[in-house]
Chains A and B, each alone.
Chain A
Amino acid sequence: DGGITQSPKYLFRKEGQNVTLSCEQNLNHDAMYWYRQDPGQGLRLIYYSQIVNDFQKGDIAEGYSVSREKKESFPLTVTSAQKNPTAFYLCASSSGGTLGNQPQHFGDGTRLSIL
């Protein structure tokens, strides 16, 4: 079954700690995305990548970092510089095109909380 796998489902971060969220897709999609979802707000774009070894900042990239070494994988690191990291993080992919003209397919998210 093709899809997007995010792990872990739940993650707890201590003060001053960096944590990494995993995202793997087997849809053979070129483009991958990371979003943050907070109650009462629309999804906000953190980073996106349209091709291996290249990625762009989204609207709220401060305090986050990514890498795209393989087509299938797009991990997100939440650094200690992100002062309000508690949120539901969603990874998505699409078959290419430009940022807004292809439907995106989502994983089931990682819920990050502060200890």
Chain B
Amino acid sequence: QKEVEQDPGPLSVPEGAIVSLNCTYSNSAFQYFMWYRQYSRKGPELLMYTYSSGNKEDGRFTAQVDKSSKYISLFIRDSQPSDSATYLCAMGGDYKLSFGAGTTVTVRA
């Protein structure tokens, strides 16, 4: 079993829809949670970083962490064609950072 499992997708949504992305993990030592956005042929770009359970909001993006269920989510409101990318979750403990395989999202105009 992988330490980090990410919904594989791909997802295709109409412009303006809410995008919901999810990851689960098995390692209780993970205390730090990140979401990255990766455009084709580019490096990942940090979107969200959090280390506590609950919600963190930044503009149209909301990161949700549930440590008791070992489950994290990223919500994108009012999605735009420019949000079309691959989204990676990442989880860290003190000595390890593990990445999900990514979910590719297409937002249709």
A residues near B (Cβ < 8 Å) are 4, 6, 40-43, 45, 90, 92, 98-109, 111
A102, A104, A109, A111: which has the most chain B beta carbons within 10 Å? Answer: A104
User: Main secondary structure on chain A at its contact with chain B?
Assistant: loop
* A-B CB pair tally, cutoff 8 Å: 63
User: If the complex has contacts A42-B4, A43-B88, are A108 and B94 also in contact, measured as CB distance less than 8 A?
Assistant: no
**Contact in complex: A41, B101 (CB < 8 Å):** yes
Does B34 make an interface contact (CB < 8 A)? yes
5 contacts between A and B (CB under 8 A): A99-B92, A99-B97, A101-B31, A102-B32, A111-B41
B41, B44, B49, B93: which has the most chain A beta carbons within 10 Å? Answer: B44
A42→B42 CA distance, assembly (Å):
15
B87 to chain A, nearest CB (A): 12
B residues near A (Cβ < 8 Å) are 2, 4, 6, 8, 30-32, 34, 36, 41-46, 49, 51, 88, 91-102
Residue of B whose beta carbon sits closest to that of A108: B43
**Contact in complex: B101, A99 (CB < 8 Å):** no
Q: A42-B101, A100-B91 are in contact. List 8 more A-B contacts (CB 8 A).
A: A6-B43, A42-B100, A92-B43, A99-B92, A99-B96, A99-B97, A101-B31, A106-B36
